[in-house]
C-alpha cells in the first residue's frame, strides 16, 4: 500500500469546504467522506487493516483527527450558511420606512353616471320617486299608449330597433324613449304622483358627433289636480339651478309638438357661460336647447285610465349626454363611450 499523504488530503478538504455554497453541497461533501460504502475515510480505515501495528496506529490517529476536523468544519459551514440565508432574507424583505409612498390610482364614476345620479338626487329632493321599466318594450307602451300615430316616422324600421318577430313574437322593440316607463307607472298607481325615470334608450340612426345609437334619458312626470305649465316651469328652473350649480339659471319655453303632450314645448336654459349675452357655447343666442316638455296629452292619461276631468299632468325629458356635453364642454358624444382614459381622467 502507498503512503497516505494526510497533509495533502487536509488541503483538498479545505479547498472543497471553501467552494461550498449550499446546504445540499454540504450533504454531498459529508457523504463523500463519511459514506459507509464509498466514503474516503472508510476506504482509508479499510486499507490500513493489513499494515503493521505501528503504521496502523499512526494512520489511525491521522484518520481520526481528519474525521474530527471534517465533522467540525461541516457544523461550522452549516451554521454560517444558515446565518447567510437569514441575512439575505432580511435584505430581501427589508421595509424602507423612509421610501416615498406608492401612488394609488383611484377611479371615479363616469361623467354620465354623475349627471344621472345628480339629476335623480335633485328630483328626489323635490319629492319625486324613481321609476324604471324594461329596455325591451312592446309597441303599445313605446308608441300606442303615448299617442304616437301608427303612421309616425319614428315607428319606421329605419328609426327603431325592432326585434325579430320570429324569435320573440310580433311588436317588440328596443325602447326609443323612457316615456314608456311613465305609462307603465300610471297604469299601476293612482294620482297624485311625481316620478323620475332615468334610463337607456335606443335609436337606429347613424352615429356622429351628436348622435349615438344608444343614449341616456331622464324624464319626470307629475300627475295631480290643477297642474299647469307654471308648475312645470318652476320645477325645471329649480332643477337646472341645482344641476348646473348656478342660481342665475332661467328657463324658457318655445311652442313645439310632441305627440304625447298638449301643449308641447321645447325647453331652453339660459346659457350658463354668458348668462344670455351670447357666446360660442350658445352660438350667440344666449340660450341652450336642453329638452322637451309639456302638459301630458289627455289621450295618454286616458290610456292609463286616469280621470282627465280631475287630474292633469306635466312631463319633461332630456338627454343625459347632451347635458354632459354642455356642462363639461365635450364636443363629441362618442367620447363618452370609447373608454379613452385621457378623456375620462379629466373629470
Which of 120, 279, 343, 344 binds Zn ion (CB under 5 A)? It is 279
- Which residue of the chain is nearest Zn ion when measured via CB? 271
Q: In the bound complex, what is the minimum distance in angstroms from residue 282's beta carbon to Zn ion?
A: 3
274 binds Zn ion (CB under 5 A): yes
Question: Considering the complex, what minimum distance in angstroms separates the CB of residue 283 from Zn ion?
Answer: 8
Which stretch in 14-22, 42-50, 129-137, 276-284 sits in contact with Zn ion by CB under 5 A? 276-284
By beta-carbon proximity to Zn ion, the closer residue of 174 and 269 is 269
Q: Look up residue 63 and give its three cell numbers.
A: 484518520
Cβ proximity to Zn ion: between 171 and 286 the closer is: 286
280-309 positions binding Zn ion, by CB under 5 A:
281-282
Instruction: In angstroms, give the least distance from the CB of 324 to Zn ion.
Output: 17
Nearer to Zn ion, 273 or 334 (CB): 273
Of 112 and 281, nearer to Zn ion (C-beta) is: 281
User: What are phi and psi for residue 166, nearest 5 degrees?
Assistant: -70, -30
Minimum CB–partner distance for residue 278 and Zn ion (Å): 6
Q: Tell me if 296 sits within 8 A of 264, measured CB to CB.
A: no
Number of residues that bind Zn ion (CB under 5 A): 6
How many C-beta neighbours within 10 Å does residue 86 have? Answer: 10
Taking the complex as a whole, the smallest distance from the CB of residue 280 to Zn ion amounts, in Å, to 7
Which residue, 261 or 271, has its beta carbon nearer to Zn ion? 271
Q: Could you tell me the smallest distance in angstroms from the CB atom of residue 287 to Zn ion?
A: 8
Residue 81 sits in the site that holds Zn ion (CB under 5 A)? no
> Residues 254 to 273: which contact Zn ion by CB under 5 A?
271, 273
Question: Per CB under 5 A, does 126 bind Zn ion?
Answer: no
Backbone dihedral angles phi then psi of residue 68, each to the nearest 5 degrees: -65, -40
Give residues in contact with Zn ion (CB under 5 A): 271, 273-274, 279, 281-282
Amino acid at each position: 500500500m502507498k503512503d497516505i499523504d494526510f497533509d495533502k488530503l487536509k488541503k483538498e478538504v479545505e479547498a472543497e469546504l471553501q467552494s461550498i455554497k449550499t446546504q445540499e453541497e454540504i450533504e454531498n461533501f459529508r457523504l463523500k467522506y463519511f459514506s459507509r460504502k464509498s466514503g474516503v475515510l472508510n476506504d482509508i480505515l479499510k486499507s490500513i487493516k493489513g499494515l503493521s501495528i505501528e503504521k496502523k496506529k499512526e494512520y489511525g490517529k491521522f484518520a481520526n483527527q481528519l474525521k474530527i476536523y471534517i465533522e467540525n468544519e461541516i457544523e461550522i459551514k452549516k451554521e454560517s450558511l444558515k446565518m447567510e440565508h437569514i441575512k439575505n432574507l432580511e435584505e430581501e424583505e427589508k421595509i424602507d420606512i423612509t421610501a416615498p409612498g406608492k401612488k394609488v390610482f383611484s377611479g371615479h364614476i363616469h361623467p354620465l353616471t354623475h349627471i344621472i345620479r345628480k339629476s335623480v338626487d335633485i328630483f328626489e329632493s323635490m319629492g319625486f320617486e324613481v321609476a324604471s321599466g324594461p329596455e325591451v318594450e312592446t309597441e303599445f307602451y313605446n308608441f300606442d299608449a303615448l299617442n304616437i300615430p301608427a303612421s309616425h316616422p319614428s315607428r319606421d324600421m329605419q328609426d327603431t330597433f325592432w326585434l325579430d318577430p320570429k324569435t320573440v313574437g310580433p311588436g317588440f322593440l328596443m325602447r326609443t324613449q323612457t316615456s314608456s316607463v311613465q305609462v307603465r307607472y300610471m297604469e299601476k298607481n293612482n294620482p297624485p304622483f311625481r316620478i323620475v325615470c332615468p334610463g337607456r334608450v335606443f335609436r337606429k340612426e347613424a352615429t356622429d358627433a351628436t348622435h349615438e345609437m344608444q343614449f341616456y334619458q331622464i324624464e319626470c312626470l307629475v300627475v295631480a289636480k290643477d297642474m299647469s305649465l307654471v308648475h312645470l316651469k318652476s320645477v325645471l328652473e329649480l332643477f337646472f339651478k341645482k344641476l348646473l350649480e348656478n342660481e342665475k339659471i332661467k328657463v324658457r319655453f318655445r311652442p313645439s309638438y310632441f305627440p304625447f303632450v298638449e301643449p308641447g314645448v321645447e325647453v331652453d336654459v339660459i346659457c350658463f357661460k354668458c348668462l344670455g349675452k351670447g357666446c360660442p357655447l350658445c352660438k350667440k343666442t344666449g340660450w341652450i336647447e336642453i329638452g322637451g316638455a309639456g302638459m301630458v296629452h289627455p289621450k295618454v292619461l286616458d290610456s292609463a285610465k286616469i280621470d282627465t276631468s280631475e287630474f292633469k299632468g306635466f312631463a319633461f325629458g332630456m338627454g343625459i349626454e347632451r347635458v354632459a356635453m354642455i356642462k363639461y364642454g365635450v364636443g363629441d358624444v362618442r367620447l363618452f363611450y370609447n373608454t379613452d382614459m385621457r378623456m375620462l381622467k379629466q373629470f
